[in-house]
Every structure is written in C-alpha cells, then in structure tokens.
Amino acid sequence: MPPAHPTRSPTTALIAALPEELDALLSTLEGARPEPLASRTFWRGTLAGQPVLAVLSGVGKVAAALTTTLLVSHFGATRVLFVGVAGGIGAGVQVGDIVVADALLQHDMDASPLFPRHEVPLTGLSRFPADAGFTDAVQRASIATLQAHREVAAFVGRTPRVHRGLVLSGDRFVATAAESTALRERLPDALAVEMEGAAVAQVCHAFGVPLAVVRSISDRADDAAHLDFPAFLRQVAGPLGREIVQRVMQA
Ligand code: ADE
C-alpha cells in the first residue's frame, strides 16, 4: 500500500489528556482551525512558524491509541509530543516535578505465562522507547521552564526537579499506597504512572514516528490527601506544558 502522506511536511502533534491541558496548548497556536473526526476535534495551526496539530486524546490507553493513529495516518503528523500530568512513583519524584519519559510500559499488560509479564504479545517489547533526540530537547525545555517559573516552587512548597526515565501507563488511576508500592516493587526503576503514554508509544513505534512524553507530577499515586487538582492543572500543569511546548518549537 502506498504511504498515505508521500510528501508529508514536518508536522508536530501535541496530545493532551485533559481539557485544561489542551486549552493551555491551544492558547499558543496561531490560526487554529478545528477538524472533527472520530468524536474528537483535531486542531491545525502553527507555532513558532511550524505546522502543529493539537488534540485531546481522551483518558486511557484505547482513547490515546486511536487518537495517535489518526494523528499519524490521517493527519500526517511526523512527530508526537504528549503533554500531561502523572502520579509520582519513584523515590524523590514529588508533586511539581517534571518527568520526561525515555521509555514507556503498560503496567496492566499481562499475557503470562504465554509471554513475559508486561510484554506486548508479538512485539517482543515491554518498554517502548521515546525518541532520544526529541526527548533531549524536551528535557532541556523542561529545565528552562522550571527555572523561569519560580512560582511553581511556591505552589508546591519546594524546588521542583526534572527527572528522566521509565513511565508506566495503565487503565487505572493509581490512588492507594498499596498499589503504588506494588508497582515500585515490580518495576523499581519506574518514575511515574499515568494512563496513556505507553499506548501512544506503541502506536508511534509501529509507525516509526518519533515520540516524546512530558508529565508534571500532580500526586504521589497514594492515599495521601490530594492537593487541589483543578488548581494544579490551572496554575502549574497548564502553564508549564504550554511553555515547554513553546520552547521545544522554538529550539
Ligand atoms: N495521572 C495523574 N495522576 C495519576 C495517577 N495517580 N494514576 C494514574 N494516572 C494519573
């Protein structure tokens, strides 16, 4: 079958999981035009003079996989950047920190004993890699963004840090200490847990499209009292995500 986009020009797709996160990204797009498809609104525009697509993935792996497939095969995205929030799992990954994924794993994938636990059957992979060069750029942008946004430290009561490593995804919001401890014991190098990234990574891997995933840490994935999640989205995650994206597109 011939490629759907034989002459595709470089187009960055920005995916957010929550409406507040998408709104922050859309506020930076120039000439944004909506293109509805499959119960989603895909936005086309430019950012720093470059073609950009922006869309809400929906929550969970199926929604994220469908959205990513359409971005690449229908809209012609040539790289994908997922921006959102996650729960901190790794020791030292605290609320207000930023985690940049270097690989992503579905923690609820288990076809054992036919295949090793976490391996996606018939792919031979449990850890789907993010693109190293693109991820380097996102990490640099994240460090610069935290340095420029000192008010995040005031919001979370400490100086936030940028971490890079393994991100877990599954169709569960992890909200008990027992579950996050079990994840940490099973996958000791995991930094954060969310609900979409590994599905996006599997689709990007299938298409050979570079991916980066950046998540600000909204909770510790335990039963501790939750901070004001809407306020975190509005005051921290939204502005940080927007600025990271702007810096990546300007680099
Ligand atoms: N997104 C943000 N926090 C999360 C958590 N604790 N579990 C899953 N997804 C999340």
Q: Which of residues 52 and 234 earns the better pLDDT score? A: 52
Examine the pLDDT at 6 and tell me if it is beyond 60. Answer: no
Q: Report CA Rg, the chain.
A: 17
For 82-114, the pLDDT digits (tens) are 999 999 999 999 999 999 999 999 999 999 999
| pLDDT value, residue 7 | 53
Examine the pLDDT at 248 and tell me if it is beyond 90. Answer: yes
Q: Within 10 A of 44 (CB to CB), how many other CB atoms are there?
A: 17
Angle of CA points 243, 44, 29, to nearest 5°: 30
For 115-124, the pLDDT digits (tens) are 999 999 999 9
Angle of CA points 199, 116, 210, to nearest 5°: 30
Length of the chain: 251
For 148-165, the pLDDT digits (tens) are 988 888 888 889 999 999
**What is the rounded average pLDDT of the residues 243-247?**
96
**The two structure tokens encoding residue 37:** 């498809």
* Residues 169, 65: Cα–Cα separation, whole Å: 12
pTM of the model: 0.94
C-beta 169 within 6 A of ligand 1: no
Active site residue 196: no
C-beta 17 within 6 A of ligand 1: no
Q: Are 54 and 30 in contact (CB under 8 A)?
A: no
Active site residue 151: no
C-beta 196 within 6 A of ligand 1: no
What are the structural domains of the chain?
12-250 (3.40.50.1580)
Strands 12-16 and 50-56, by their bridges, are parallel
